[in-house]
Structure 1
Amino acid sequence: MPATAFFMITLGITFSTLMVTSANHWLTAWLGLELNMISVLPMITKQKHPRSTEAATKYFLTQATASSIMLLASTLNAWQTGSWDITQLNNKISCTLMISALAMKMGAAPVHFWLPEVLQGSTLTTALLITTWQKVAPITLLYMISNHTQSNITLIIGTLSILIGGWGGINQTQLRKMMAFSSIAHLGWTMTAISTAPNIALLNIIIYITISTPVFLLLTATSIKTLQTMTTAWSLSPTTALLLMLLLLSMASLPPLAGFTPKLLILDKLVMYKLTPTATALALFSLLSLIYYLRTSYLLTSMAPPTTTQSTTLWRLKNHYNQLTAALIPLALFNITITPALLM
């Protein structure tokens, strides 16, 4: 990609997200989300392949539909209340439509079908962008309207996302699709807490972005795209394989790794609000995600010498991600010692 085009795309993605996060008018937020979508499309179609064209088409249609629903919800709210202020979403129908539109933009269940297909048709770098940076703007809007959200709707969306994110990822052999279902499951935890504890929901998505970024960077550095080629990671770089295993276990929310902290806080809040059956169901559904995280971790470490690998070794280790990865991994693996301070 030419340097000028890359600079314009990066500027568009950054500026549009900042526009949404600093907006207080629905039309400004809508404009920022549209600019964000247009900036990401060239990144998806970077590969000259029919699969990437299909992924870009699905991404465009889904995002355009969500933007239309969002515009309808904000217009209906302005018609009823006379205000375009984001924090004044008082109309219940508008609030329900807005939550549905933002869930579609992020890829939360039951409007999640586009996310695995788009990630599979994109590069690992683009998949990293879609699963992390592209969620900042919708999550910010959800956080701003959290006082008006109906807890029943967010709990249903969150529970479905955790269930589908765990169930859908079990059958996958492609890592990009598996990470897409992992993103859906983590979005479920965020949606569950957004109406009862928005600060904890924000903490959950920040920790998820901190963990998933080095995961994608390590996968990109080692050119690993399937579970079969993951068996070559140990012979390629034992340190990379070990760090990738720890990061996956952190995403699986195993203590004392960082991914366990927000899940514990969310379950604690649900029990505090007399939602113990919901908390129990979420804890059980999260075990589905644990299955494919443990399977992937087993493949990373079980092929250590003298065991022979099951596929051809990929001698394409790249070094230009090491500094960023080394800076993020300690944050992604930070232990649970800060939890008592967060609970107080």
Structure 2
Amino acid sequence: LPTTMMLVALTMKIGAAPTHFWLPEVMQGTTPIISMLVATWQKIAPMILIFSISNHAPSNVTVVLGLLSTFLGGWGGMNQTQLRKIMAFSSIANTGWTLMTVTYELKTSMINFFLYIILTTPMFLAMARTSTKTLQDMTTLWTTSATTSMMLMLLLLSTAGLPPLTGFMPKLLILNELVIQSLTPVAVITAMSSLLTLVFYLRITYLTSLL
């Protein structure tokens, strides 16, 4: 019970469902750089604490929290037009992927988490550099900076988990681990919920590629 309570408290710090409501509003209300820190750097300490108690954490709780996060993160970002809110819901969904196997295969969860930070940081820096705040702003990005636009497209698709890009591998490993643990229905639902996040990633990519 103490471990479960600590786990739930830490999920609030990392913005995982169902205690995720603060994250989109905070990220929307700050500058892109602060949003980047909230989505990446701020999560490192609580996530390391989760990694350190993963041996004692109840696996059914982490799986449920992960499943909720992937679904609500994808669902919440569907109708957003503000880029920082979209990135916030993307962060929630990715946190869910990380929590999914934290008690089964810790290394896979760590790879997924740190890879997300590596992919997300340049995205926020590019948004800050080009002053893009909404989806509408993305439509003119190609004309002002084609290189940045191309980089953003690749980063977005990689974060979405499309093969053969980098972000695909940790998601595949997580799904594989869930199947190994006889959690095939959970793996299927998780894979289906990733389609929700793929929708808004592809929408941003499409708008970015408009000439």
Q: Which bin holds the TM-score, normalised by the shorter protein?
A: over 0.9
Separation in 2, partners of 1:192, 1:169: 20
Deviation at 1:192, TM superposition (A): 0.5
Deviation at 1:199, TM superposition (A): 1.0
1:107 aligns with 2:11: no
What's 1:224 paired with? 132
Deviation at 1:293, TM superposition (A): 0.3
Give matches, 1:29-48, under 5 Å. Answer: none
Question: Which of residues 54, 70, 75 is equivalent to 1:167?
Answer: 75
Deviation at 1:281, TM superposition (A): 0.6
Q: C-alpha root-mean-square deviation of aligned residues, in Å?
A: 0.5
Separation in 2, partners of 1:114, 1:240: 30
1:182 aligns with 2:93: no
Separation in 2, partners of 1:269, 1:156: 15
Deviation at 1:112, TM superposition (A): 0.2
Question: Which of residues 42, 45, 57 is equivalent to 1:149?
Answer: 57
Q: Deviations over 1:91-146 (max 9, x none)?
A: xx101100100000110000000000000100000000010001110111011111
TM-score (norm 2): 0.99
Question: Which of residues 198, 202, 207 is equivalent to 2:106?
Answer: 198
Give matches, 1:66-85, under 5 Å. Answer: none
Query: RCO (CA 8 Å, sep 6+): is it higher in 1 or 2?
Result: 2
Separation in 1, partners of 2:192, 2:36: 28
Deviation at 1:232, TM superposition (A): 1.0
Deviation at 1:193, TM superposition (A): 1.0
Question: Which of residues 204, 208, 211 is equivalent to 1:300?
Answer: 208
1:252 aligns with 2:143: no
What's 2:3 paired with? 95
Question: Which of residues 279, 282, 287 is equivalent to 2:187?
Answer: 279
Separation in 1, partners of 2:113, 2:10: 15
1:210 aligns with 2:118: yes
Letter in 2 for 1:161: S
Letter in 2 for 1:270: L
TM-score (norm 1): 0.61
Separation in 1, partners of 2:118, 2:169: 13
What's 1:10 paired with? none
Separation in 2, partners of 1:124, 1:240: 16
Separation in 1, partners of 2:145, 2:48: 38
Question: Which of residues 148, 161, 176 is equivalent to 1:268?
Answer: 176
Please list every run of 5 or more consecutive structure 2 residues that lacks an aligned counterpart in the other structure: none
1:137 aligns with 2:9: no
Separation in 2, partners of 1:104, 1:240: 33
Please list every run of 5 or more consecutive structure 1 residues that lacks an aligned counterpart in the other structure: 1-92, 305-344
Letter in 1 for 2:71: L
Separation in 1, partners of 2:60, 2:181: 13
Runs of 4+ off more than 3 Å: none
SS of structure 2 residue aligned to 1:224: coil
Separation in 1, partners of 2:174, 2:77: 22
Select the structure of larger CA radius of gyration. Answer: 1
Separation in 2, partners of 1:299, 1:170: 15
